[in-house]
Structure 1
Amino acid sequence: MLRRLPRGSARSPLPPPAARSAVTAVPLAHAEMGVRGTRPPLVLLHGLFGSHGNFQTVAKALVRRVGGQPDLVERLISVDIGPTSTALISEFPAYISAMKSVNIPAGLSRSAARQLADSQLSSTVQDPQLRQFLLTNLVEVEGRYIWRVNLDAISHHFADIMSFPVFHKPYPGPVLFLGGSNSPYISSKDYPEIQRLFPKADVQFIEGAGHIVHQDKFEDFITAVLNFLPPP
């Protein structure tokens, strides 16, 4: 079930930003679904602690129902995140600390290692689905189980990761901010900045969903995405 908020009026754009420093491109791990065609692609980007496998079920469902999906980006969907800093509301620092404290003896099977890590995380990460999401980062390397994400680097740069860059020129295309009704990551305090940067934005909440919206309410999520995308 979707709860939709009214669109706000656009504000006048501010002067263009100062020149930014050059950025070096790096190759990204990715997976392609479906057959390349004449339509523009639909690109799914995961969040913190995610990987290119997180949206495979979503991608396959969208390929079956809409095929492939101009300037460079024709429209955007932001899933349970707004254009503001979320460092103060995020529980990830506690999750990182819990992940660092996980202790798994060498020689365990993968299933036994995951069960032990799940048990050790449970006192801090109480949501079982969220624990399973974090455990996708537990990998075996030379007989030892480690976290494939760089927890120290994430901890050190957490404030930067959870902040949002300062932009002055708004994005003119249609945007859907799709949040979970049980998640704090999009709130009324974000609406002025959403309206300033994305004057054609529509904000919707899926009832009963937390931060991992597509996992909590899969069909509602797919329906909202399909309703926002242009028809085939």
Structure 2
Amino acid sequence: MKLNYKKIGQGKPLIILHGLFGSADNWLTIARDLEKEYTLYLVDQRNHGDSPHSEEWNYTAMAQDIAELMESEGLDSAFLMGHSMGGKTVMNFAMLYPEKVDKLIVADIAPRYYPVHHERILEGLNAVDLQNAKSRKDADDMLAKYINSAPIRQFLMKNLTRKDGGFAWKINLQTITKNIEEVGKALESDNTFDKPTLFMGGANSDYITEKDREDIERFFPNSHIIHLKNAGHWLHAEQPEAVSRTIRAFLEKE
């Protein structure tokens, strides 16, 4: 599948993948801080952003999408980074195509299984009556009946776009709802990835815990784990300077 992406900067290629319900724009602030040193590919994963929709939605397919992107860009290898769902994608990619990854960064996710915990969000998104929404505020008001948090709604509403005189979701809501179990699946592979790998978590998040260390070291023996202070799961939004600084230090280290 030919994915949509933004390409900015100059230098060694760094491919960044967003999380569930996200898009390439989520990492634009970080990219702007790194663009003098790296060529950044900010990617919309399938069924997200402006990338195509497909009923096939799993980590093998999403990893193959990245391989296709790299081939189309003439990239033999690159630095890869993914947040949350994107982190699962890059982990799977590293198992399938280790020769294409120079270094790996996984942001606030571990290789383990995560139970589905997006039911309320999906219920709210599916309840928005797009045909009768006259404005973005109408859609937000409908979503607010299910999601109290204004910041979460603001993030989700970035997926709302104008289409044919009305509104539509950029995400493939039907397929995501039907296959939401795919997001939390554990990494399954007989392989290991031996190149430098950084697991970067938020200190206020429970997505990467000490219990995950064994799994992480089994799949990624040349890895280390850090947690950024005053950051939760959305570490790139909460602590962008610390995230950029950490990325830069890890990638520049010999």
TM-score, normalised to structure 2's length?
A: 0.70
Counterpart of 1:42 in structure 2: which amino acid?
L
Cα 1:106–1:140, aligned 2, differ >3 Å: closer, same or farther? farther
Counterpart CA distance in 2 for 1:169 and 1:220 is 32
Q: CA deviation at 1:63?
A: 0.9
What residue number does 2:101 align with? 73
**What residue number does 1:190 align with?**
212
Alpha-carbon distance in structure 2 between the residues aligned to 1:231 and 1:196: 23
Aligned residue in 1 for 2:193? 171
Mapping for residues 87-166 of structure 1, pairs under 5 Å = 87-88=115-116, 90=117, 92-104=118-130, 106=132, 108=134, 112-113=135-136, 115-166=137-188
- Indicate the residue corresponding to 2:8 in structure 1: 33
Could you tell me how far apart the structure 2 residues matched to 1:180 and 1:120 are? 31
Q: Distance in 2 between matches of 1:224 and 1:126?
A: 33
Q: Deviations over 1:140-187 (max 9, x none)?
A: 111221212122211211112221331121100111111122223222
Q: Distance in 1 between matches of 2:15 and 2:193?
A: 17
Deviation for aligned residue 1:105: 6.1
What is residue 60 of structure 1 aligned with on the other side? 32
Quick check: which has more Rg, 1 or 2?
1
Sort the Cα spacing of 1:186 and 1:102 in 2 relative to 1 into closer, same or farther, 3 A: same
Looking at structure 1, the residues matched to 120 and 180 of structure 2 have their Cα atoms a distance apart, in angstroms, of 12
Structure 2: how far apart are the matches of 1:191 and 1:118? 40
Runs of 4+ in 1 over 6 A off after TM superposition: none
CA RMSD of aligned residues (A): 2.3
Count of equivalent residues:
197
Give 1 or 2: higher strand fraction.
2
After TM superposition, give the deviation of residue 104 of structure 1 in Å: 4.9
RCO higher in 1 or 2 (8 Å CA, sep ≥ 6)?
A: 1
Determine the structure 2 residue equivalent to 1:212.
234
Which consecutive residues of structure 1, in runs of 5 or more, have no partner in the other structure?
1-25
